[in-house]
Amino acid sequence: MQQRLGPEAPAFFACYAQPPRRGLRVNTLRMPVADFLAMSPVALRPGGLIPEGFEILEDKPLGNHPAHLGGAFYLQEPSAMAPLAALDIQPGMKVLDLCAAPGGKSGGIGAHLAGQGLLVANEVVPARAKTLRHTLERLGIANGVVTCARPDTLCGALAGYFDAVLVDAPCSGEGMFRKDPEAVAAWSPAHVLSCAGRQQAILESAAQAVAPGGRLVYSTCTFSWEENEAVVEGFLEKHQDFSLEYSRRLYPHTYRGEGHFTARLQRNGAGKGKRQGSLPLPACKKAAYLEFCKDALEAAPPGESIELEDGRVLILPGPLPKGLEKVRVLTAGIYAGDMLGSRFQPSHALAMAAGVDWRRKIRLAEEQQQAYLHGQVLAIEGGGKGWCRVEGAGYPLGLGKMVEGALKNHLPKGLRLL
Ligand code: SAM
């Protein structure tokens, strides 16, 4: 870094004595930025990369705040928002996030898609893929597919399909040094080189998935040239059909964040990607599901409903590409609920999904929100009868059922606060 940064190096090294910067992204699927700012639990200032990205100015824990659990915001340090800015997502696009867990950038992509188009969020490590699924559920993303596949398998199966592909690559994590001592301990020159090899392989796979005319964004949270510019240069030498639009480094001493590298590449060619036929799936014909929709929702969520072998009912955002059957799909669209024999039981995910309008919405005061999040049953007057969505101030908290003046708590046990 001394060699690369020259006269800037002392400022770079000095910033490692400072605490890490924190940030959050307002989830615009839940509410407009102005509404969030009016109720924000912490002082914020704009991060400058995306309109809904902010730096947090107070040292206050936020993970268990109801607005966080309700998906009104996502905690993300400000410079990690650079890839989302580079992707320039427009509603209706088909987007692949190839290394997606825990889901920070996928969440942003989903928000920018605004319910239109398709997000395929992939994570190769199974336990992390589960976390990814829960993040997207919490953020209310209804047009996502979560997969757990190797990049070469997934990108081979969906070659030429995506308008935009993000590779937020596993890296040596120098941008994590201020907040994660393990990243410091794991660092070595050999680790940097092994990361670079893996990054080249992932990017090579990713290239296949990009439609002609589509874009590929490569990012890391590290500063070594081997893992950043060198990976991009090596890629461009092999792929004459791609060109570099720009690359950008954010450093902790030049920007109010932990640092990020982003490169935006464009695949030559005009027009949209190969439109592959729809994945054939069995339609859900269960009258019980439709009966539930009639009773509890203003309208059944648009999209085809399918029933999986395990009884889960999913509402698909639109036709899914052929090829997905070759990879492990954890969930797709909205996980509406389960068929238990001939009975339909709605899921927590349905209560969290953005764009689903419930007939019964039980809005809780702050103290009641805490009680609900701790798994308690609440006495509610005039709440009606039947399944309902439990809400905080403009964001959902989960599922409930009104029975004789009591709000039965259907928040999954694993999500309850201890
Ligand atoms: N984009 C994520 C976000 O914003 O929350 C962070 C992604 S993290 C930097 C990189 C991810 O790549 C990790 O979840 C890691 O498990 C995954 N990964 C590790 N090895 C991989 C490989 N060989 N191919 C694809 N992904 C890999």
Residue 132 CA, ligand 1 centroid: distance in Å:
11
Distance CA 151, CA 24 (A): 28
Tens digit of pLDDT for each residue in 280-319? 667 777 889 999 999 999 999 988 899 888 899 999 988 8
Same domain? For 64 and 96 the reply is no
Tens digit of pLDDT for each residue in 167-181? 999 999 999 999 999
Tens digit of pLDDT for each residue in 395-414? 999 999 999 999 999 999 99
In a domain, 6, yes or no: no
In a domain, 239, yes or no: yes
Same domain? For 403 and 308 the reply is no
Q: What is the pLDDT of residue 277?
A: 63
Extract the residue ranges of the chain whose pLDDT is less than 50: none
The answer to whether 221 is a known catalytic residue is yes
Q: Whose CA is nearest to atom 23 of ligand 1?
A: 198
Is residue 131 lining ligand 1, measured as CB closer than 6 Å? no
Residue 156 CA, ligand 1 centroid: distance in Å:
18
Tens digit of pLDDT for each residue in 115-143? 999 999 999 999 999 999 999 999 999 99
Q: What is the pLDDT of residue 382?
A: 86
Q: Whose CA is nearest to atom 1 of ligand 1?
A: 100
- Whether cis (ω within 30° of 0) applies to the bond prior to 19 is no
Choosing from 155, 171, 221, 293, which is the catalytic residue?
A: 221
Return the SS3 of 264. strand
Nearest to 354 by CA among 122, 119, 190: 119
Same domain? For 117 and 254 the reply is yes
Same domain? For 160 and 254 the reply is yes
Same domain? For 61 and 88 the reply is no
Is residue 155 lining ligand 1, measured as CB closer than 6 Å? no
Same domain? For 100 and 221 the reply is yes
Q: What is the pLDDT of residue 282?
A: 74
Residue 380 vs residues 276, 315, 324, 377: alpha-carbon distances, Å: 50, 31, 45, 9
Average pLDDT score over the chain: 95
Is residue 102 lining ligand 1, measured as CB closer than 6 Å? yes
Residue 362 CA, ligand 1 centroid: distance in Å:
38
Q: What is the pLDDT of residue 238?
A: 97
Is residue 130 lining ligand 1, measured as CB closer than 6 Å? no
Q: Which domain, by its residues, includes 310?
A: 277-358
- For residue 46, give the CATH number of its domain: 3.30.70.1170
Which residues on neighbouring strands pair with residue 217, listed in sequence order? 166, 264
Residue 19 CA, ligand 1 centroid: distance in Å:
25
Half-sphere exposure of 283 (CA within 13 A, CB side): 7
